[in-house]
Amino acid sequence: MRESELFAHSGRTYRGGMTTTEQFWSDAQRHLVRYGGTFTPEIIERASGSYVYTADGRRILDFTSGQMSAILGHSHPAIVDTVQRQIATLDHLFSGMLSRPVVDLARRLAETLPAPLDKVLLLTTGAESNEAAIRMAKLVTGRHEVVAFARSWHGMTGAAANATYSAGHQGYGPTAPGNFAIPTPNAYRPDFTTADGELDWRRQLDHGFALVDAMSSGSLAAFIFEPILSSGGIIEPPEGYLAALAAKCRERGMLLIADEAQTGLCRTGTWYAFERDGIVPDILTLSKTLGAGLPLAAVVTSEEIEQRAHERGYLFYTTHVSDPLVAAVGNTVLDVLRDEKLDVRAREHGAFLRAGLLEIQQRHHVVGDVRGRGLMQGVELVVDRTTKQGSDALGAQVTRRCLELGLHMNVVQLKGMGGTFRIAPPLTATREELALGLEILDQAIGEAATA
């Protein structure tokens, strides 16, 4: 008799933790759909602060903030208190009903953003918020073509997947017509160069849009971008690039969509990563960090765009739009970010983390590049610094050794991605925890480099 049938016959309520380790992995292999990469070979029983704890009692330092989301660490007391209180009073409503947490969060988010970003739609995931943003851009402009970077990741659903080029295109048939990519401005691997070998991003950008113009049917609706391309390898466009990109969009009547799923809300040392470049997107999407690990996302735009969308019958009616439980969590996230000045902390601790990574680069020839901003850093491993030949195998080896030593420090081991570590510890991590992570990473890279 199956465990579920045993529960049904006995009247017991599922509590978890009742299977042996062997049965757990047997059930996982038998019943779980594999959805990308491999599963971490540990049973995680609980998480607290900067650590996750395994079934066999090991403590693992989490340098990925869960799925780049738990910016306040795991089980932050303020988040726990909010969830316990809110779920006992108001958890989920019919989508047409409004509650105070929803309206409060919309207002407070708008207050953190420059004008004219003051209209908010609350959803669940990053892919969903990008779907909503792209759908809005198409309706408002009356056009259908969407442009993104060739190393982008915006989600695995419909329009978001069409605008995702770092992975996931092969084997699923053609994407919708009108989806284009331009070269990613990667200073470490420049394709257009100046006389001194540096990335000539202006010429690259001109070339990219020349290709877009050649392919377009005259129906360009939007450009969607990450201020720092995460899955693409922690690639940050040079200063001035995003302003020039915004100008290209204005010239063509396109809307500019900023996807700040991972960079938003203090991660990079400012509340929003686009602030560095002096631009204001037409539409902003937030997710991951907004819910601090819970499923909460947002689309933020101007009153003018929202009004035009409404007049044209904008429809994005989902089961969990404007849910009060996660909206209450979002309000608590804003409280903690403000009260604990986590933007300042991300800048200061980010500088400490980056200095440590640069020291590791000096010690180990397999570290080709260190890049990023604040507490979002990238380390690219190479077989040879001269040729810059990457290595997924080396990345996987270091990842495994880090885990053995007590550090979880990579998110996705997909082809072409595994050689670049995406390092994003919680904003609440201490200097001591950052130093421990650097020590483990240094040891793992050193062992891999001499193997």
Phi, psi angles (nearest 5°) of residue 67:
-100, 55
For helices 431-450 and 392-405, give the axis angle rounded to 10 degrees: 130
| DSSP 8-state class, residue 360 | H
Alpha carbon distance 373, 346 (integer Å) = 9
The CA distance from 233 to 217, in Å, is: 31
Q: Which CATH class is domain 49-76+341-450?
A: alpha beta
- Examine the residue annotation and report whether 248 is marked as an active-site residue of this protein: no
Active site residue 262: yes
Report the sign of the C-alpha dihedral through residues 270, 274, 279, 284, in that order.
negative
Among candidate residues 131, 226, 277, 343, the one labeled active-site is 226
User: Tens of pLDDT along the chain (451 residues)?
Assistant: 454 444 444 455 767 767 899 999 999 999 999 998 789 999 999 999 999 999 999 999 999 999 999 999 999 999 999 999 999 999 999 999 999 999 999 999 999 999 999 999 999 999 999 999 999 999 999 999 999 999 999 999 999 999 999 998 889 999 999 999 999 999 999 999 999 999 999 999 999 999 999 999 999 999 999 999 999 999 999 999 999 999 999 999 999 999 999 999 999 999 999 999 999 999 999 999 999 999 999 999 999 999 999 999 999 999 999 999 999 999 999 999 999 999 999 999 999 999 999 999 999 999 999 999 999 999 999 999 999 998 888 999 999 999 999 999 876 666 766 789 999 999 999 999 999 999 999 999 999 988 7
CA distance linking residue 184 with residue 187, whole number of Å: 9
Tokens 């009547």 found at: 253
Catalytic residue chosen out of the listed positions 119, 151, 267, 288? 288
CB 222 within 8 A of CB 134: yes
Which residue matches tokens 């910016």?
71
One-letter amino acid for residue 390 of the chain: G
Say if 49-76+341-450 and 90-339 have the same CATH topology: no
Q: Annotated catalytic, 288?
A: yes
Q: Which of the following CATH numbers is that of domain 90-339: 3.30.565.10, 3.30.930.10, 3.40.640.10, 3.30.70.3420?
A: 3.40.640.10
Alpha carbon of 206 to those of 163, 184, 189, 217, 245: distances in Å?
A: 20, 12, 18, 19, 10
Which one of 138, 153, 282, 323 is the catalytic residue? 153
The single residue of 259, 260, 306, 369 carrying the catalytic annotation is: 259
Set 131, 377, 422, 433: catalytic member? 422
Active-site position among 86, 204, 262, 361: 262
Beta bridge partners, 380, equal 369, 420
- Residues contacting 138, CB < 8 A, separation 6+: 144, 146, 221, 222
DSSP assignment string, 266-315:
TTTSSSSGGGGGT---SEEEE-GGGGTTSS-EEEEEEHHHHHHHHHTT--
CB count within 10 Å of CB 48 equals: 12
Q: Determine what percent of the chain falls in helix, strand and coil, rounding each to the nearest 5.
A: 40, 20, 40
What is the enclosing helix (H) or strand (E) of 258?
Answer: strand 255-259
| Chain center to CA of 11 | 41
Q: Where are the domains of the chain?
A: 49-76+341-450, 90-339
Predicted TM-score (pTM) of the model is 0.95
Handedness of CA 13, 15, 18, 21 (dihedral sign): positive
